[in-house]
Amino acid sequence: MKLFIRLVFTALALFATVVLVPGIRVDDPNAWTIYALMAVILSVVNTLVRPILKMLSCPLILLTLGIFLLVINGLTFWIAALIAESLGVGFYVDNYWAAFLGALIVSIVTVVLNAFIKDDDRA
C-alpha cells in the first residue's frame, strides 16, 4: 500500500513539475495515466540505474560533499524521460537543465508529501 501511495505522490510531483518547468511537457496535461506511467518508469530508473551512477561517481560525490548527487538526480530524471519518450508515454524533457530542475522539484515535493506517511520502521 505504501508503494502505491508513494507512486501517487511521485505522479503528483511530476504534475507540479510539468506546470512549473518550461522545458518539460506532456501530450495531454489532464491524462493522469501519463503521470502514473512516468512515476513507474522513474521509480524503476531510480532503483536500477541510480545506484550504478552513484557508485561510478563516488569520488566526485565525496569531493563535492554530496552536491554531485543533484547532477545524478537530473541525469536519472532525464534517462527516465528518454525511456518514456521511446515507449510513447507522452512525457518529454527538452534538455538536461530542464531535467535538473524537474528532478529538484520532484525531490522536494515527494519529500514533503512522504512526510505525511507514517513509517512503521521508525523507532
C-alpha–C-alpha distance, residues 38 and 74, integer Å: 15
Q: What is the pLDDT of residue 29?
A: 75
What is the spatial distance between Cα 93 and Cα 37, in angstroms, rounded to a whole number? 15
The proportion of the chain whose per-residue pLDDT surpasses 70, expressed as a percent, equals 96
In a domain, 90, yes or no: yes
pLDDT band at 121 (very low <50, low <70, confident <90, very high): low
Domain assignment of residue 122, yes or no: no
Answer whether residue 122 shows pLDDT above 70.
Answer: no
Average pLDDT of the chain, as a whole number: 92
Residue 123 lies in a domain: no
Q: Is residue 95 part of a domain?
A: yes
pLDDT of 22: 94
Number of compact structural domains in the chain: 1
Task: Flag whether 102 is in a domain.
Answer: yes
Full residue range of the structural domain in which residue 22 is found: 2-114
Distance CA 115, CA 33 (A): 25
Instruction: Categorize the per-residue pLDDT at 115 as very low, low, confident or very high, splitting at 50, 70 and 90.
Output: confident
Where residue 120 falls among pLDDT bands split at 50, 70, 90? low
pLDDT at residue 123 tops 70: no
- In this predicted model, what pLDDT tens digit does every residue of 40-58 receive, in sequence order? 999 999 999 999 999 999 9
Q: Is 29 inside any structural domain? A: yes
Exposure letters 66-86 (e unless 16+ CB within 10 A, then b): eebbebbbbbbbbbbbbbbee
**Residue at 64 is within a domain:** yes
Are 113 and 9 in contact by the 8 Å Cβ rule? The answer is yes
Is the pLDDT at 2 greater than 90, yes or no? no
Is pLDDT above 80 for 109?
Answer: yes
